[in-house]
Structure formats: structure tokens, C-alpha cells
Amino acid sequence: SVPLSFFGGIGGASRIGILVKGSNYLEALAHAETVVFDKTGTLTNGTFTVTAIHAEGDTTEDELLALAAHAESLSNHPIAASVRQAYAGPLDPARIQQAEEVSGQGIRAVVDEREVLVGNGRLMDAAGAAWHDYELVGTILHVAVDGVYAGHIVIADQVKDDAAAAIAALRKAGARKTVMLTGDRADVAEAVAASLGIDEVRAELLPQDKVAQVEALLEAQAQANPKGRLAFVGDGINDAPVLTRADIGIAMGAMGSDAAIEAADVVLMDDRPSQIARAISVARKTMAIVW
């Protein structure tokens, strides 16, 4: 049977906005040593603003933004919301013949009977659209129309207020290793990780690459200390498989997707990464009572 103090621990956590789905996760949290973060929406606000638009060839900047906004009209990715907001105009459903999300890469759509791709370099490569790279300015959305490069949109996100404090608190709580996984560009990812004091970064990952990275980190954790546990923290856009694979899957509850909240073992009600160290602390106190 489950000792009563476990319920005390779960109750104590819920009073500070941390939902723990079972006493086994409380026990795992008490032994968390590797903490792996998704970047967008987890360590950053996940609300992007468009900071620059650059059109090439026959396409004007207004057209580029209109095409991108229509292509992104059905996506619930935070990047899509920023493009629609920058466009500001009404979206005409009649202009959109088709739209599909390419997980971790962008959008493939048919707008005004033309194939429109909006996303990263990998998506452009798959279509054979020649794109150029740029100095670090933010996350870059490349746009191709009928296989021809048409320009790019620069978007910027900001790290959460408490993200640096959250990493420092985890280190104090005994986390051996902090890691950030992201589908974003390496230069953007490294700048964010350096500003937060995160130990390791793996960038330009596809959703399935994130699962492979977590598996490798689980292996490394087992080698370093088989009793230590690995937590993955994500906002859930494409994160459900990784949340499931980690010893402890932690989801952001306010902005996170339903799929993530479902897949997670622990849900942070207010999306603040600093809650993770608090969850570990509640778990440790609970364990001390049990032992």
C-alpha cells in the first residue's frame, strides 16, 4: 500500500500549482539528476514577434507575408500565430486549397493554387528551393513558392523571466546535468543556453531525434548513477513522445497542448520553469518522511 505521506506530498505539490499524477513520480522526482528542456514555450515565452521581412524575386514583402499567413492559418504552432498576427489582415479561406504541418520543419500548403512552403532550411532542402543562411538574428522562416525561394521572415522569442533562476535552483537542488533540445537553429539555441547557464545543447532536431537524444541521456544517467532519474520538461508542441520516454515527463499546463498534459507525469499549472526545483524539493521532503 502507498504510505499516507505520499498523499501529503502530492497535496503539498498541488497547493503550489504542481500536479503530480502518482506517488511513483514523486519518488522519481526526488532522484532527478538529469533535467532536459525543450526550448520554445518551455524556457522561452513561445510568443514570437516578426522583426524583419525580406522578399526576393517578383514577390513583394506584403505578398510574402500574406502567403505565409494563409499557409499558417490552420497551424496551432506558436510560430504560426506570430505570422498571422504580423499579417493583421483578414484570412480568406477561399485562398487556401491545402495545408499540412511538417513536424519540426514548417508548413506545406497550397495558396492561390501555388505551393507555398514556410519553415526551416530542412524544409527548403526537401523542396529543392535554394536558400541562404544568415547571421544570428533570430529564428528564420524561409518561404518558397512553387519550388522557388521567395524570401524570409525573421521572428524573435524571449527567454522566460524566471528561466535563469530555474536553472540555478536546479543546480542547487543537486541536478547533475541540464540539457536543452530544440528544432531551432544551433546559433539561436546556443545563445539561449549560454544566457541561462544550461550545460548541453542539441539543436536542429526533428521530433524523433529528440526521442533518440533522451534515450542516449537516459543511458548516460544510468552509467553515472543508476538510482538517478531523468526529467524532460516541454510545452507539448510535438513533445508527447519525449514526455512519455523520460522517467518523469513534465508539461507546461497553461500554454501546453492537451496531448502533452495527457502524456505528462507532472503538470506545472503556471508554466514557470522555476517550479521544477520546487517540485523536487517537495518530493525530497516527502521521501524523507517515508524513509
Binding site for ligand ADP (CB under 6 A): 38-40, 72, 75, 77, 79-80, 104-107, 118-120, 139, 141, 182-184, 237-238
Cβ closer to ligand ADP: 39 or 245?
39
- Grid look-up 524523433 returns 208
- Can you spell out the DSSP letters for 25-44? HHHHHHTEEEEEEESTTTTB
Cβ closer to ligand ADP: 50 or 141?
141
Q: What is the CA radius of gyration of the chain?
A: 21
Cβ closer to Mg ion: 38 or 72?
38
Q: Tally Cβ neighbours within 10 Å of residue 38.
A: 28
Cβ closer to ligand ADP: 104 or 228?
104
**Minimal CB distance residue for ligand ADP:** 183
d(CA 181, CA 176): 17
Q: Is 250 in the site for Mg ion (CB under 5 A)?
A: no
d(CA 161, CA 45): 9
Shortest distance in whole angstroms from residue 14 CB to ligand ADP: 27
Helix (H) or strand (E) holding 223: helix 207-224
Binding string, residues 15-54; x marks residues near Mg ion by CB under 5 A: -----------------------x-x--------------
265 flagged as catalytic: no
What does 75 bind: Mg ion, ligand ADP, none (CB cut-off 5 to 8 Å by kind)? ligand ADP
Shortest distance in whole angstroms from residue 75 CB to Mg ion: 13
What does 104 bind: Mg ion, ligand ADP, none (CB cut-off 5 to 8 Å by kind)? ligand ADP
d(CA 270, CA 272): 6
Give the SS3 label for residue 19: strand
Q: Tally Cβ neighbours within 10 Å of residue 148.
A: 16
Helix (H) or strand (E) holding 83: helix 78-87
Q: Can you give the binding site for Mg ion, defined by CB under 5 A? A: 38, 40, 237
User: Residues with catalytic annotation?
Assistant: 38
